[in-house]
Amino acid sequence: MLAAQKLVINKTRQPLAARRCDFAKTCDETNKVDLSKSADAPGLVDLRPTKNRVSPAVSSSETAGQAVVFRIEGFPEQRSLVRHETQMRNFHLLIESGMITILVAGSGLWPLAGQSVAADAPARKPNILVIVADDLGYAEVVCQGAQPIPTPRIHSIRDGGVCFTNGYVTCPVCSPTRAGLLTGRYQQRFGHEFNPGPAAQASDNFGLPLTEITLADRLKQLGYATGIVGKWHLGYKEEFRPGRRGFDEFFGFLGGAHSYVDSGADRNNLIYRDNHRVEEKSYLTDAFGREAVSFIDRHKQQPFFLYLAFNSVHAPLQAPDKYLNRFPEIKDEKRRTFAAMLSAMDDNIGAVLDKLQQEELDEQTLMFFISDNGGPTPQTTSGNDPLHGFKAQVWEGGIRVPYMVKWKGHLPAGKVYQQPVASLDILPTAVTAAGGTLAGDHPLDGVDLTAYLTGQNSKSPHDTLYWRFGPQWAIRKGDFKLLQPPRAAVQLFNLAEDFGEQHDLSAQKPELVKELEKAWKEWDSQLAPPRWKAQQARAARARQRAAR
């Protein structure tokens, strides 16, 4: 016989989470659950078996493959699946539409391996993990071919998921790309077109506009615990900080770059835990890995969204000996340090993946890995080969990046996907997976990639992709890309045949140039003017003022 003697519910965070459930050998004849220890619980609640469901007083042999279901009168409709361990056995608690369902491992109520669970028991919402690398070029983490610097843990995401050969970001620099990623909208629609520069030089109105709804906002409304670890770069002022943009927790820095070895190197850009400044003594990449693992540990019993935004491999180039010593064969000091930084990030991504596996959450986690823009090769050696161009340019080398997604059991493993996709697609894919809707006052530019990646939809996710970065702009429609590079005439390329952008076809296809230019201008007419000037322009004015 099986009975639930005591169940304490914590209603302080959505979705609901069970604290403890103990089972006795004999049935509790009162069929009641003690909710009195919860701060706002209604006390003892009468539990009655619902129609066509088993009674809690039957033996386990009579309930194989079924579930004990109770209705709680007056209990608000919630939905959550929470896994717990007791000294005796595992159990799952499902709270949905005013009912509690208790599924017990080994009792016949919760199936053992090879058995099936009741068909109407919904699965727990997937955790969402978005990992962003900084200034990591297309050549440094590849879908196919030789890997220049070993990154086995990043590549485990690729091997277990889908790798994009035509994965794009919406800007060739950091802050605008992040604004687009977290909103699912072209950031130029709301004026977030340029980097702000260092905190001391940033415009007073710099920050992701408060009119925009972030991925964290959306997932929090769906009952997720939300956290960011790492680089923010979407606003320095209090109203623009993570805690005001849907994130429950924040550990990291607000600016665009940071020392890896001296947490106080820039007094205007310190390390924060939520809104409190902290001193960090660890190598910063290691600290971010540590904090990411800790976040998962604290929230493993409920769906969570973790935005893990490393500043590696962004300058300054700094690494401790334990990582540098892995690459004695690299004689160029700059390249060796870059390799050490990338290896450190790979290790810490591995620590996060290990934690998910340890907690048996890897199959319940939808994870993305992406770089925020192409590599600034002359500055850091971060390579974009065989693409043309670098960070801060709308050539392919500035906007086509390492990009992959994994959701075990839902998306194919080891697949290379050739159609163009964008960082804009992360939000709609994640929200849809979480059971949310994409309707709202601000239409999204990204799409849910799931049907495309599973083969249910054989079309391309995007007919056209667009870029605007000051005087630079580009449009990709199908295989053809028209771009306006810095200080040059527009150029046309067939990326299917020439993804290195070496052979300008504009003179041979003038009608196609006109068609693409017209399409870009129509898109451009929908955009807002930049809310602050480009970083270079502000720096030039500052130098002029200093020279007076």
- Going by C-alpha positions, the residue among 225, 211, 171 that lies closest to residue 195 is 171
Q: Are residues 190 and 262 in the same domain?
A: yes
- Going by C-alpha positions, the residue among 391, 388, 394 that lies closest to residue 484 is 394
Hey, what amino acid is at 422? Answer: A
Is 536 domain-assigned?
no
pLDDT reported for residue 537? 58
Q: Are residues 297 and 334 in the same domain?
A: yes
Q: Are residues 55 and 148 in the same domain?
A: no
Look at the block and give the residue holding tokens 């019993």.
Answer: 301
Pair of tokens at residue 427: 């939000």
Q: Compute the residue count for the chain.
A: 548
CATH (domain of 490): 3.30.1120.10
Is 350 domain-assigned?
yes
Q: Are residues 150 and 228 in the same domain?
A: yes
Q: Are residues 414 and 498 in the same domain?
A: no
Among this protein's residues, is 143 annotated catalytic?
no
> Of 92, 174, 192, 462, which is the active-site residue?
174
- Going by C-alpha positions, the residue among 210, 231, 282, 14 that lies closest to residue 125 is 14
Q: How far is CA 99 from CA 53, 298, 303, in A?
A: 12, 26, 20
Pair of tokens at residue 488: 């040059």
Among this protein's residues, is 174 annotated catalytic?
yes
Q: Are residues 131 and 216 in the same domain?
A: yes
Q: Which residues of the chain have pLDDT under 50?
A: 1-121, 543, 545-546, 548
What is the total count of domains within the chain? 3
What is the torsional sign of CA 378, 383, 385, 390? negative
With beta carbons less than 8 A apart as the criterion, state whether 379 and 315 touch.
yes
Is 197 domain-assigned?
yes
DSSP code for 24: E
Pair of tokens at residue 109: 């109520």
What is the four-CA torsion angle of 49, 54, 59, 62, rounded to 10 degrees?
180
Is 544 domain-assigned?
no
CA distance 370 to 392: 17
Hey, what amino acid is at 312? Answer: S
Hey, what amino acid is at 106? Answer: G
Q: Are residues 443 and 481 in the same domain?
A: no
At 317-369, the pLDDT tens digits run 999 999 999 999 999 999 999 999 999 999 999 999 999 999 999 999 999 99
Is 323 domain-assigned?
yes
CA distance 187 to 173: 12
Q: Are residues 87 and 7 in the same domain?
A: yes
With beta carbons less than 8 A apart as the criterion, state whether 375 and 135 touch.
yes
Is 235 domain-assigned?
yes
Which of 416, 439, 461 represents a domain boundary (last residue)? 461
Q: Are residues 16 and 144 in the same domain?
A: no
Pairing of strands 249-253, 79-85: unpaired
pLDDT reported for residue 539? 54
Contacts of 311 (CB under 8 A, 6+ apart): 134, 230, 231, 253, 257, 258, 260, 284, 285
Radius of gyration over every alpha carbon of the chain, rounded to an integer in angstroms: 26
> Of 92, 192, 233, 388, which is the active-site residue?
233
CATH (domain of 169): 3.40.720.10
Query: What are the backbone angles phi and psi of residue 523, rounded to the nearest 5°?
Result: -65, -45
Pair of tokens at residue 261: 């070895």
Which of 56, 73, 104 represents a domain boundary (last residue)? 104
Is 219 domain-assigned?
yes
Pairing of strands 276-278, 271-273: antiparallel
Q: Are residues 99 and 223 in the same domain?
A: no
pTM score over 0.75:
yes
Q: Are residues 399 and 513 in the same domain?
A: no
pLDDT reported for residue 93? 42
Sort 510 into a burial class: Cβ within 10 Å, 0-12 / 13-18 / 19+: exposed
pLDDT reported for residue 200? 87
Is 546 domain-assigned?
no
Domain that holds residue 21: 3-104
Q: Are residues 176 and 158 in the same domain?
A: yes
